[in-house]
Structure 1
Amino acid sequence: MAEAGRERVLVVALADDGPRVALPAERVRALAPIPALTRVPGAPAFLAGLAERRGMALPVLDLARLLAPATVRNRPSPALQGRMVVAEANGPVGLLVAGIVGLEAEPGGVAILDLPALVADLLPRRPGGAADVEASRSHAEPQPASPDAAFLALTVAGQTYALPLGAVEAVTRRPKAVAPASGAGSFFPVAMPWRGQALPLVDLATRLGLAGGAGTRVAVLRGVGLVADRVGPVLRVRPEAIDPVPRALRRAGPAADLAAGFLRRDDGTLVCLLSPQAFAGAAEPARAAPVAAGTAPIVVVDLAGRAYGLPAGAVCRVERAPEALVRVPRAPGDLAGMLAVRGGALPVLDLRRRLGLPPGGTRGRLVVVEAGGVRAGLLVDGTARLVRPEAGAIRPAPRGVADELAEGFGAALTRVADLPDGPLPLIDPAALLDRAALPGRPVA
């Protein structure tokens, strides 16, 4: 706390009918409603989370939990009502308060916060700034190697998290019956059968300190399964929109290293990027089955009672099939129509028509793929799971199978992946879109 000076101050209330503090007005940059906050796993209670503001991740502190925790003992964290003060304290920071009392010439006996000193103790920065960011980036995992990095979304207790797509071996359902995971450690109380072994399961809601649990979907990493409410879709993010977790936001504790960074999406939301090593690294070495070199994940789609595979690297997103499309006059038979998207229109292909199958059935999902600079949507009956074939499991389709498939897909379907539950025909998106009569190059 600093002694009162002659500068104008902004007096704020920490809680309803609770204590008040003053902020130097020269350090206040804006007043705003409380934004959507993304929690940092393992962070202390006073760090309400991160908010997206003007293309950057803004750390947001709950002043009541920091300065007067007794006044908010029974209040949910973070605060759901009140205001956020954006202030400058060796960098921008958000401060949650219960209310704004007013801008005053004198604090009137209320203590003035020394914001730089307060924030320096909580969120220390190196003098060089950029060097600290680079050091934090080296800790964040993974570093994107392509212009568009791909991540798999996981929904846990209503919140969205993400994993690097390349770290996920498969996505499957959690069986109704699970067995105790003997000798697997406190984080692995139960296990499920997986490829002839017992796969330890981590309930993400419990691990992240969220209400909920008993999710139905499992994302399989190296030697461990992460249980979530929902898995998918695939998120594509530009490298410059991937921010590391600043070292200063990390605190010692069992969940301190779960977050590897944050993804800034085009809609302004932040998604916490989970570190695969924080989960898989805790599994027993004997249980950690190696991921075969050269394999890539495949999205399995359902079509007319049959399963097909699409390379996950070509899948931009998966969403519900649109209720209506804009028809294109004299369009080829497999072009179902155009879907209005931001900045243009997306051509949508009906794979049932491409295969010459009857129109019966419900087109439950739209899979947006991109290959060769062309983007299009594919109508399918459903998306089932994510798999990662073992090395050597992908081979040319047998002659009889290739002839059968070629009638509808042609050169777009000439390979199969041998999976434990049978061969999976693989669709080549580049060949599929190259043969399709698409009206121009879509924008999505």
Structure 2
Amino acid sequence: MTAEKNDSNAVALQEATRAEVEATTDIRQFVTFIVGDEVFAVDMAPVQEIIRVPEVVKVPLAPRTLDGLANLRGKVLPIISLRRIFGFDERVADDASRAVVIDQGRQPLGFVVDRVVSVVGVDPRHIEGTAAISSTVNTELVSGLLKDVGGYPMIMVLDFGKLIANEFADIAVKAGNHTEIATQAAARPDAQQDKINDELHLVNFEVADQEYAIVIDDVQEIVQVPELIVHVPHSESHVLGVMTLRNRLLPLVSLRRMFGLPTREADENSRIVVVSLGTASVGVVMDSVNEVLRVARTDVDAMPAMLSKEGNLSDISQICRLDSGKRLVSILSVGNMFRHTAIKEALATVDNMADQDAQQGTAVSAKRSDDDRSDDEEQVVVFVLGKEEFGVPIDSVQEIVRVAEAMTRVPKAPPAVEGVINLRGAVLPVMDLRRRLGLEQIARSDRQRIMVFLIDGVRTGFIVDSVVEVLKVHKTTIEPAPHLSGEQSMLLARMANLEKQKRMVQLLDPSYLIEKQELQALAQLAAA
């Protein structure tokens, strides 16, 4: 009997041990966190990581619960406020705040919480359904309850799948479909471009209060003056030095010094216009870049022979007459500029640096090649609204002009239309892009510009806060923007994630700027 009793005890012990092991195997891990005065939990499985709340880029036309978009190791991450979703009071993120990154196989999302408490292992016996509280609490977003876990009598387990479906239904679209939409938007043939051959397309800039222009085909891009310019010893005074532009050396010259004008330190308005002739490229520093103009060739005259000079002063090849001749703009010949001793000196400086680097065995390559015109890059005009940067394909921009001091208001015009202006004898309807994107209105300023697009045959201007630069963006940095809403996904389908520059440029498709029902009204307005 004693042996049988011992065997029975041993079997009971084995079964108890097995049950304990099985119970331990079923332990589930949860991340617990606090939002407002409530404690919540989420199953560990969809939690990709937990990060400090990053800086974000605000997105127009997005749900109000979206704080913005952040860069997470080269990938775009939407950042969402759980406080806003739950209707809690707003609170500025502090050192304790965290973003819990949830990845359910579509678009990873970061949810801002006030504080992450801990990661806990929970015995299934401490997990209950929501039936006990369903009569008093809306349990639509709650998948279960944790009882007596982590020192809390009850913790609600959030169902992030339902939360995302409710708040961001458009994100539920699979990434493959989203990519297809963005690809179609990028590849859409632009049959709306103006093919008129009797116009010049010019980049207009200013130096020492004088206006100049360069034919846009000769302009590779327009960039901001960098913080670091490498000055070259014993170089001519008009050679400012060299800068790095996408892993190549770009020589810089000052147009002020080339023309013998007083020198001036670069400021926030200064820009570098990168011009090219064949395989050679040079950055020319201007006081400011003002507009992109379309000018009738009948308004352009050749430089009078008696004023045209040989050598370093022959850069101006034509004179453009605007505003009935009240405004004269000098058109610079890039071909003549490249014969200027200043340009030759700058190109020679870069060649010498490249030769020295090669002799020393360094990896710096300063060869000027046709890479700038590679099919792997897109050229976009970058403009600003508030603190955010946006871009449009350069081919979609008809021109960029100053905001007129007075716009004519038109009765019964579409609500978004600010008014109309006379643009070289044609009526141009003008809309405020801030209003179109649901952004806060601001007072007019000298930095604002009107960007003119041709949309379904209707030429329309949109006011932006300022035009920053013309930028070449490598296609590897362009990705589909998170699918946040139907309107946003069409208008802002793509994003240039320039990680090294710590910049995100939201790429806008101008063809979606005007609602279909507004086009007819605008066409009638333009024809009036």
What TM-score does the superposition give when structure 1 sets the normalisation length?
A: 0.55
Q: How far apart, CA to CA, are the structure 2 residues paired with 1:149 and 1:298?
A: 19
Distance, in Å, in 1 between the alignment partners of 2:436 and 2:232 is 47
Question: Mapping of 1:237-386 within 5 angstroms?
Answer: 237-245=295-303, 249-253=307-311, 255-268=312-325, 269-279=327-337, 282=344, 283-284=347-348, 286=366, 288-290=368-370, 291-293=372-374, 297-313=379-395, 314-320=397-403, 326=409, 328-329=411-412, 332-333=414-415, 335-341=416-422, 343=425, 345-357=427-439, 359-362=440-443, 364=445, 365-371=448-454, 372-386=456-470
Provide the residue aligned with 1:404 in structure 2.
484
2:136 corresponds in structure 1 to none
In structure 1, stretches of 5+ residues that fail to align are 1-143
- Find the residue that maps to 2:436 and give its secondary structure: helix
Between the aligned partners of 2:329 and 2:253, the Cα distance in structure 1 is 20
Structure 1 pair 167–406 and aligned structure 2 pair: CA distance change class (3 A): farther
Amino acid at match of 2:321: R
Give 1 or 2 for the bigger CA radius of gyration. Answer: 2
Matched, 1:151 2:202: yes
Alignment partner, residue 225 of structure 1: 283
Q: Which residue of 262, 265, 278 corresponds with 1:214?
A: 265
More helix by share: 2
Alignment of 1:414 with 2:493, yes or no, is yes
Query: Offset at 1:355?
Result: 2.6
Shift, 1:151, TM fit? 0.8
Which has the higher mean CA deviation after the structures are superposed, 162-171 or 337-346? 337-346
Q: CA deviation at 1:158?
A: 1.1
Which residue of 210, 217, 233 maps to 1:166? Answer: 217
**Could you tell me how far 1:273 is from its partner in structure 2?**
1.3
Kept after mapping to 2: 8 A contact 1:202/1:224: yes
Q: Which structure 2 residue ranges, 5 or more long, are not aligned? A: 1-194, 352-365
Shift of 1:276: 2.2
Q: Which amino acid aligns with 1:210?
A: L
Aligned to 1:203: 254
1:52-201 equivalences in 2 (<5 Å): 146-175=197-226, 178-182=229-233, 187-201=238-252
Deviates more, 1:226-235 or 1:188-197: 188-197
Residue in structure 2 matched with residue 44 of structure 1 by the alignment: none
In structure 2, distance between residues paired with 1:167 and 1:434? 35
- Partners of 2:398 and 2:404 in 1: how far apart? 15
Q: Is the 8 A contact 1:393 1:418 kept in 2?
A: no
> Which residue identity does 1:274 align to in structure 2?
L
Structure 2: which amino acid aligns with 1:388? K
| Per-residue CA distance 1:153-179 (angstroms, 9 max, x = gap) | 121111111111122233233346643
Q: Percent identity?
A: 27
C-alpha displacement of 1:340 = 4.0
1:189–1:201 contact (8 Å) kept in structure 2: yes
Under a length normalisation based on structure 2, what TM-score does the superposition of the two structures give? 0.47
Change (3 A) 1:381 1:296: same
Contact 2:293/2:401, CA 8 A, preserved across alignment: no
Between 210-219 and 151-160, report the one with greater CA deviation: 210-219
Deviation at 1:220, TM superposition (A): 2.1
